[in-house]
Structure 1
Amino acid sequence: MFRTALRNVLAHKARLLMTVLAVLLGVAFVSGTLVFTSTISEAYQKSSQKGFDHVDVAIQPHRQADDKERPGAAPKLTQRMLDQAAKVPGAASATGTVNGFAAIADKNGKLVGEGFGSAGSNYYPGTDGKDARYPLKDGRAPKGTGEIALDAKTADRAGYKVGDTVRISVNGPVLEQKLTGVFTTDDGNVSAGGSLALFDTATAQQLYAKPGEFNEIDVKAAAGTSQDALKTELDKVLPKTAETTTAKQLADDQAKAIAQGMDGMKTAMLAFAGISLFVGIFIIANTFTMLVAQRTKELALLRAVGASRRQVTRSVLIEALVVGTVAGVTGLLAGIGIGAGLRSLLGSTGAEIPAGPLVVSPGTVVASLAVGIVITVLAAWLPGRRAAKIPPVAAMNSVHAVATTRSLVVRNTIGAVLAAAGAALTVATDSKAVMGLGAGLLLIGVFVLTPLLSRPVIAAASPVMRLFGISGKLARQNAVRNPRRTAATASALMIGLTLITGLTVIAGSVQKAIDKMATDAIRADYVVSMASHTPLSPDVAKKISTLPGVKASSPLREAPSRIDGDFQNLTGVDGATIDELTKLDFASGSFADLTAGKAVVDDTTAKNRGWKLGSTVDATFEDGRKGKLTVSGIYKGNALMNGMMVDVTTIAPHESRITDQQVMVKMSSGVSDSTKDSLRKALGDNPAIQIQDKKDISNDIAKMISLLLNMLYGLLAMAVIVAVLGVVNTLAMSVFERSQEIGMLRAIGLDRKGIKRMVRLESLVISLFGGVLGVGLGVFLGWAAGQLIGKSLSTYELVLPWDRMAVFLLLSAVVGVLAALWPARRAARLNMLAAIKAE
């Protein structure tokens, strides 16, 4: 039986090629994802580990878990702690680090680096006058206000040389600095495409902390002292506001964080690989069902000469095992190429990835082979079992070919129950997990019902098919002759288009909701913020308020606090002008009374806390001081404006370092290119500052949604490609099955063009059937998901992208036409006499 199975595989190379390709694509996606994420993760981990070469124990600020007196950040480390750390037994040296954001403009005024990756820090010279972390490549270290050093990659990209004047910004205002040195670094942030600017320590403290304060203290162990021993000595002398961590632990934590950061990408890509494999299951099952049907008499003869049912089933499974193994191995090799290609593609987009080898772990090899083999064998098991159950005499007479009424009733009943249960769960739940389960059940239910649905849906195309004469009539009859086969072929395309349509509906609806929210909630003409979304200097708000043409402006400032004992971020605004800049519906009260000691709160927070107009609450501010706040207004919150707002004068006395998140501006002349330009020039043509009107805000969000949607389209295209292979496979094998019939049609006068047209129309009808089901299901799932989104996004409303849905249906038609090219040509070239004699 083993030899028979191998002989059958080799005898049907062309038929099984499509099946191998379907499995291969899914496996390649799985292995490519694992190779890509492992390679990137390991490259970043090794790069980050180099950053700990000059530290054995790191000292960082620490807040006690039970410290509720000061809701702000933990106190910074002091010069006294640095001196203590340098003197403990086993310490060779101690380095104080101050860091924050620093945007670098190139010579054309454009931002260098990757936004959040634009960092600033201090150059801390040791006893030899050098900072071992940053070896100087050219020039000297910065020694006072107005001097900086840049990493070599940033200097090259921006075209700067020692002696040039560099425009930078750390929190808004433009600073012009003299470039005194260029250094090299193993900093992972720089390796990833960011930038690093160094100041002398006093200047860095002035910009990022306070004089004498540090964000971190790095201690180097003396020869013969272990990291754990040094940590123990440091713990003896440092206060509870400082926490020590060994460099090994920091490296392990960072490696873990990098791995976790890659998990999201890996999970998403594997999910789409799973979709491709799920679609591939239909093709594999379809292929083996047709192969078994074509070899019914052969299998019956095997049974007649003594083969048992198990042996027949086993022979089919052995074929599947061979196919799965070949597909698994080739898919693994293709996946390694995909992983390398993805890394190169990521690098070509401007993202700089640390150098490192391509990582193909044993787990990737095992997973790829297991996926290919298990998926193929499972998909082939049912056809093999069904073939083994056919009595030899019945098989030779082909009386088994027609499905029994009972089996069809059972199938349709199961499909109806699954579809109804899935639809009910999808519509009636508030849980994403339950909705996902419902969507899966609905897809499976519709798949089970597709043989039943195929006849009425395809029959609806009869008027159009009649236009093509006898070829159209025959194509329609062929499409419904074997409903199960048609259903399995169409379902592969249906799944891909369901997901594509559903995502498109959700994305378009969310975009419109955000547009409406921006229009409804904001009266301001412009919102000014840092391009990196880091804190903005209060000098920006002061500067804007004095500009000619500015009608009203207000900062939005966040301050950590505790309200009635619970953590709550307060948003500081200008109580006198905020009403002119926002458009919020108040259930009670208003912005009119928002003065010192007063607060307005969104309706959800008020309801959860049991607050009403006039309620007085206890507040603990950032510096630990306490006070009272009176609720002077309750408004309807949304995704853009929510939380607890107070006048800036309420929180300013308690802030250790005053910064704004953004500034809202209303101009006397409204929104125009000239007013935006005047604001930009007034703020020093600063590339680190972005000035956005409502349309810009909406467009930014639209770009993110479009980027995400295009990525999803690209990933789902894999499922559609697999579906195309399924249509080609089904048609090619169907042509083989109907060789005698096609020969007869040729003999009675149907020419080669008519045969080609018949096969192409059959493919077109099947593909459009899958497309109609996919688009319909996608709209339903998009609507159902929208009901869930609408509960947290009040402006959400269903938007049907008719143009894109038309494109998706057109895509289905194109799939049908392309998939039929080879099978139609093969059918037309059949020798009619040889075909008539064929069994």
Structure 2
Amino acid sequence: MFRTALRNVLAHKARLLMTVLAVMLGVAFVAGTLVFTSTIQDAFQKSSEKGFSHVDVAIQPDDPDKDDKKNLGPAPNLTQKTLDEAAALPGAKSATGVVSGFAGLSDKDGDLVGDGWGTLGANYYAGPDGKGSDHRYPMKEGRAPANAGEIAIDHKTADRTGYEVGDTVATSLSGPVHQEKVVGVFTTDDGNVAAGGSLVLFDNDTAQKLFAEPGQYTEIQLRAAAGTTQQQLETAAEKILPPESKAVTGQKLADDQSKEIESQMSGMQTAMLAFAGIALFVGIFIIANTFTMLVAQRTKELALLRAVGASRRQVTRSVLIEATAVGVIAAVAGLAAGIGIAVGLRSLVGSLGEMPDGPLIISPTTIVTALVVGVVVTVLAAWLPARRAAKIPPVAAMGSMHAPATTRSLIVRNSIGAVLAGGGAALVIAASASGDNALMGLGAGLLLIGVFVLTPLLSRPLIAASAPVLRLFNVSGKLARQNAVRNPRRTAATASALMIGLTLITGLTVIASGVQNAIDKMASDAIKADYTISMANFEPLSPDVEEKLRSMDQVTSSTAYRFASTRLDGENETLMGVNGDTVSGLTQLDFTAGSWDGLGGGKKIVVDDDTAEDNGWKVGSDVAVTYQDGAKGTLSVGGIYKGNALMSGAMVDNRTLTPHLSKIEDMQVMVKTKDGASESVKESLEKGLGNNPAVLVQDKEDLSESIAQVISLMLNILYGLLAMAVIVAVLGVVNTLAMSVFERGQEIGMLRAIGLDRRGIKRMVRLESLVISLFGGVLGIGLGVFLGWSVGELIASAGLDAYSLVLPWGRMALFLALAAAVGVLAALWPARRAAKMNMLAAIKTE
């Protein structure tokens, strides 16, 4: 039986190749995901360890629980006194004062260098006397910066931008643009630079003025003397710690960064594996169809084996051995393809400058997972056809009298499908009303399974609806419709593969369209300002930016938004500072009670409805406030407004909030201009701010487009991932048509004999494929719209009140056209094969 099984594997090479391809694609996705994420994690982990190789212990500011703090501001920076004490610790070889923060660097085209989040600036610490060298940043060219107006840049940034020693470059910290002279190019193991960011070095005094205060550091790094461990040095450092600070070993810093990277990678890995699972799930239908076809071709052979003594178990085992052999081949091929995918992804990411160098990581776990997934999926899919083959009585099989399906079995299937689909739809509707994510996931899963089970029942009326169009093709069209509903189970399995992919694609598109529409609506409804100004990487803005804007002739009014940690009635709350005199003309909030009136007076506070409800506040309520510096006061609620995703929280006048801030920083500035929003006005504002690439000047349309770009990027990635499922679905349609052509060989021969030419045969097969694909497309788009609506209701209940259902008719038509294209392409080979049949040989086929 074992030899028979292996011989059968090789006897049907073409059809088994499609099964291998279906499994291989899914396995390749799984293996590629595991190899790629393991490679990224390893590269960043080694980069992290290398970046902390010069640090044995770090002393850092530490924010304790705000409830235990007298002051609510950030922990204070470290002083020169702490640095001197650290340098004198027993077991300390050296102590380096570190101060760092955001520092944008413009390239020669005026664009921001680096990825925005990784554009950093730091100090070159030349020792307490300023005459030494910083072991962290060895100079490759030139010298270290020694005075204001001088900088050094990392070698990767120098290579990318073409800057050389002696060039003058534009830098920006929190708004204003500065012209600096490059005096040196240095090498570094900094993980941020390895990942594609940039690093700019200033002399120690300049860096302290820019990122902290004179004489202050954001971190102190210690190196241990020979014979002193990191733990021993950490213990010694803890004795000199000032309040609100901590000592951490270099190994823990590296480990924490590695864990953070691993956590960031896990989300991407989970998403990619989910889509690999979808591709494999779709592949199950194809594998089941393939083995059903192979078993049908060998019905007499299996019956003969039964007649000469083979048991049912042996027949089943024979088919499963074939499936195992196919699974092993597909898994090995998928593993190889997955490694290729990982290499391609690494090269792509590396070319974008966002990944440190490192070897390709192919772990034993990845190899075992790929092999197990390929074999298990194939064997599971082949089990049902194998079981059916073993159940056929030998005499009936040899006489070609067996019937694979019964009316009773279809009734049972339809009953189960109706219960699952109805229950799933009910759960989805209940979840959209209650906001229960888990219930939504369960309902969507049951609904998909229920519709899949019901597809044989649904196929007849939906395919029958195509009759008026198919009549235009005369006999070929009529035969195509009849053939499509001849075996409803097989038609359903084929259509379901395409249905699942289009359900996900349509659902995601509907959700994205609704979210984008909600954002557009909120931007137009909540913001009256012509422009918002913010940093490109969402870092705080310098207050100089608003002062510069106010001085421009084009600007008629403005308000800066400042955030501070405070306590309101004893609860920790973020308080937002605004210009109480101008904010009403720059925003358009829906007040349920009160208004902006009196906010500019200094004793009023405006809050969103949720905050007011949580605290039991009404207009006129007195609110006890503890500011960031510990000062206390009382504010009166002057207005309560409906919060939204763009604007919410408690607001107070900046003149009330600013005196209590240790450092004044704005998150964004809103401005109104004389001539309204236009390209020329935008250019004048940008020019007035020094054409700073680190600062974004956006009107309402720009704001919506920036969010739309993020949504579009996510959608395009998802479309690319889901394309795997569509490719697998194409193979499924090819398989089904090939099976249909095989089963109808005698019938096709008779049609040719009575006058249907080869062109008519080809047209019949193509129309059958088109009908099946459109059936799956219609089901998928319908389900996708329903699930998109329900998830949208969930999003609306979670706080995005402006969300409403938006049907992207253009994209939905494109998806339906894609389903039709799948049908046309998938029919090419089976149609050609059917047309080339020898009619006499086909008629004689038993």
TM-score by length of 2: 0.98
Look up the match of 1:510: 515
1:32 aligned partner = 32
Pair 1:218-2:221 in alignment: yes
Match of 1:695, SS? Answer: helix
Q: How does 1:782-793 map to 2 (within 5 A)?
A: 782-791=788-797, 792-793=799-800
Where does residue 737 of structure 1 map in the other structure?
Answer: 743
Is 1:660 equivalent to 2:666 in the alignment? yes
> 421-430 or 482-491, which moves further after superposition?
421-430
SS at match of 2:705: helix
Partner of 1:329: 332
AA matched with 1:710: N
Q: 1:326-346: per-residue Cα shift (whole Å, max 9, x none)?
A: 100000000000000111122
Deviation by residue 1:80-106 (Cα, 9 ceiling, x = unmatched):
111111111100000011110000112
Provide the C-alpha distance between the structure 1 equivalents of 2:300 and 2:628, rounded to a whole number of angstroms. 84
Query: Which of the numbers 338, 359, 362 marks the counterpart of 1:360?
Result: 362
Aligned with residue 208 of structure 1, among 191, 211, 215:
211
Partner Cα separation in structure 2 for residue 3 and residue 161 of structure 1: 71
1:794 equivalent in structure 2: 801
1:810 aligns with 2:817: yes
SS at match of 1:541: helix
Match of 1:162 among 155, 165, 186: 165
The equivalent residue for 1:63 is 63
1:597-625 CA-to-partner distances (Å, cap 9, x unmatched) read 32100001111111111111222221222
Partner residue in 1 for 2:448: 443
Task: Determine the structure 1 residue equivalent to 2:830.
Answer: 823
Residues 61-81 of structure 1 show CA distances to partners (whole Å, capped at 9, x for unaligned) of: 113335232222222112111
- Does 1:259 find its partner at 2:262? yes
- 8 Å CA contact 1:618–1:628 kept in 2: the answer is yes
What's 2:408 paired with?
406
Q: Check whether the contact 1:28–1:335 (CA below 8 A) recurs between aligned residues.
A: yes
Instruction: Report Cα offsets for 1:31-75 as digits up to 9, x if no partner.
Output: 011111111111111112111121111111113335232222222
2:96 is equivalent to residue 90 of structure 1: no
The amino acid of 1:766's aligned partner reads I
Q: Which stretch of structure 1 is more off in the superposition, 387-396 or 601-610?
A: 387-396
Matches of 2:714 and 2:536, distance apart in 1: 20
Report if the CA contact (8 A) 1:58-1:218 is conserved: yes
In 1, are the aligned partners of 2:350 and 2:356 still within 8 Å (CA)?
A: no
- What is the match of residue 841 of structure 2? 834
3-state SS of 2:636 partner: strand
**What's 1:425 paired with?**
427
SS in 2 for 1:784: helix
Give 1:194's aligned residue: 197
User: CA contact under 8 A between 1:93 and 1:221: conserved in structure 2?
Assistant: yes
2:772 matched residue in structure 1: 766
After superposition, where does 1:127-206 map in structure 2 within 5 Å? 129-206=132-209
Which one-letter code corresponds to 1:354 in the other structure?
Answer: P
Deviations 1:293-346 (A, max 9, x none): 222222222222221121111111111111111100000000000000111122
Distance 1:796 1:748 in 2: 61
Aligned to 1:555: 560
Q: In structure 2, how many angstroms separate the alpha carbons of the residues matched to 1:377 and 1:597?
A: 73
Partner of residue 108, structure 1:
109
- Is 1:468 the counterpart of 2:478? The answer is no
Tell me if the contact between 2:73 and 2:662 (Cα under 8 Å) persists in the aligned partners.
no
Q: Return the letter of the residue paired with 1:374.
A: V
CA–CA distance in structure 2, aligned partners of residues 611 and 294 of structure 1: 77
Q: How does 1:532-611 map to 2 (within 5 A)?
A: 532-594=537-599, 595-611=601-617
Percent of pairs with identical residues: 70
**Alpha-carbon distance between aligned partners in 2 of 1:476 and 1:795, rounded to the nearest angstrom:** 45
| Matches for 1:474-493 after TM superposition, within 5 Å | 474-493=479-498
Report the counterpart of residue 622 of structure 2 in structure 1.
616
> In the alignment, what sits opposite 2:378?
376
Match of 1:232 in 2: 235
Shift of 1:520: 0.1
Matches of 1:448 and 1:774, distance apart in 2: 14
Counterpart in 1 of 2:389?
A: 387
Give the equivalent residue in structure 1 for 2:17.
17
CA shift, 1:240, in A, is: 4.4
Q: Which residue of 2 aligns with 1:50?
A: 50
Contact kept in structure 1, 2:564 and 2:576, CA below 8 Å: yes
- What amino acid does structure 2 have at the position aligned with 1:714? G
Aligned pairs (5 A) from 1:703-782: 703-782=709-788
Q: For residue 675 of structure 1, what is the aligned residue in structure 2?
A: 681
- Partner Cα distance (2:167, 2:483) in 1: 77
Shift, 1:347, TM fit = 2.9
Q: Secondary structure at the match of 1:629?
A: strand
Q: How far 1:476 sits from its partner (Å)? A: 0.9
Matched position secondary structure for 1:591 = coil
Q: What is the deviation of 1:676?
A: 1.1
Name the CA distance, whole Å, in 2 between partners of 1:217 and 1:68.
Answer: 23
Deviation at residue 441 of structure 1 after TM alignment: 0.9
Question: Which position in structure 1 is the counterpart of 2:348?
Answer: 345
Deviation at 1:837, TM superposition (A): 1.9
- Three-state SS of the structure 1 residue aligned to 2:93 is strand
How far apart, CA to CA, are the structure 1 residues paired with 2:144 and 2:287?
66
Gaps of 5+ in 1: none
| Residue 402 of structure 1: how far off its partner (Å) | 4.7
Structure 2: runs of 5 or more not aligned: none
CA distance in 1, matches of 2:673, 2:193: 39
**Contact persistence 1:37–1:266 (CA under 8 A):** yes
TM-score, length basis structure 1: 0.98
Give the 3-state SS of the residue equivalent to 2:665 in structure 1.
coil
CA contact (8 A) 1:85 1:94 kept: yes
- 363-372 vs 148-157, which deviates more? 148-157
User: Could you list the runs of 4 or more consecutive aligned residues of structure 1 that deviate by over 6 angstroms after TM superposition?
Assistant: none
Q: Tell me the CA shift for residue 142 of structure 1.
A: 1.2
Does the CA contact (< 8 Å) of 1:71 and 1:567 recur in 2? no
